[in-house]
């Protein structure tokens, strides 16, 4: 029952995106000065993280705004944030998947996340490349093995270049 309620909340989350304050929306439009956590909270209020998750998940919002929201979520390392990011690594829009992978990789750091390993075989090269950058900092043997597997089949030249760097080749 409780799980069902939480799931319903998660599914309803995109509807909240319309509640984004103008100040937060403006902040997410920064060109070259990324907002700090404090600035985000000041603009978005105490529910900023939830608002950002809703914004990132909303297919109705401009992709660029969703990308900015995904980046901003890197300031709010919470279980709900990681769950949202993992879910969005499977979004329909490659750009959203790429941004979700990048932020999830930032939060995971030198750790390991199954969603990131899965992103190594994403159909879109830009997502695979983001995944390589994201997992390369991890010393886990599983990461090395996954990179080796990808190296064996990767045909995209730019992605191979990054793979080669990650594998030290």
| Residue ranges that bind another protein, judged by CB under 8 A | 26-27, 29-35, 39, 60-64, 67-68, 70-75, 95, 98-99, 102-103, 105-106, 126, 129-130, 132-133, 136-137, 157-158, 160-162, 165-168
Lookup: tokens for 15: 């509807």
Least Å distance, CB 3 to another protein, is 29
Q: What are phi and psi of 9, to 5 degrees?
A: -60, -45
Closer CB to another protein, residue 73 or residue 117? 73
Nearest approach, Cβ of residue 150 and another protein (Å): 13
Q: How far is the CB of 11 from another protein (least distance, A)?
A: 21
Q: Are 52 and 17 in contact (CB under 8 A)?
A: no
90: nearest Cα among 104, 81, 101: 101
The residue (of 50 and 76) whose beta carbon lies closer to another protein is 76
Concatenated DSSP letters for 68-132? HHHHHGGG---HHHHHHHHHHTT-SSHHHHHHHHHHHHHHHTTS--HHHHHHTT-SSHHHHHHHH
Nearest residue (CB) to another protein, 116 versus 132: 132
Closest CB 5 distance from another protein, rounded Å: 30
């Amino acid at each position: 029952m409780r799980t069902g309620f939480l799931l319903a909340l998660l599914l309803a989350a995109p509807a909240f995106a319309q509640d984004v304050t103008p100040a937060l929306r403006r902040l997410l439009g920064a060109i070259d000065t990324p907002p700090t956590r404090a600035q985000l909270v000041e603009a978005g209020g105490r529910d900023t993280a939830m608002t950002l998750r809703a914004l990132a998940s909303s297919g109705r919002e401009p992709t660029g705004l969703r990308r900015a929201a995904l980046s901003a979520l890197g300031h709010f390392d919470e279980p709900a944030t990681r769950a949202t990011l993992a879910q969005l690594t499977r979004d329909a829009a490659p750009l959203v998947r790429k941004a979700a992978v990048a932020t999830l990789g930032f939060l995971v750091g030198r750790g390991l996340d199954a969603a990131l390993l899965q992103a190594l075989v994403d159909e879109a090269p830009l997502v695979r490349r983001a995944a390589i950058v994201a997992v390369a900092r991890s010393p886990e043997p599983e990461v090395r093995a996954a990179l080796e597997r990808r190296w064996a089949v990767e045909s995209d030249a730019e992605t191979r270049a990054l793979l080669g760097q990650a594998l030290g080749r």
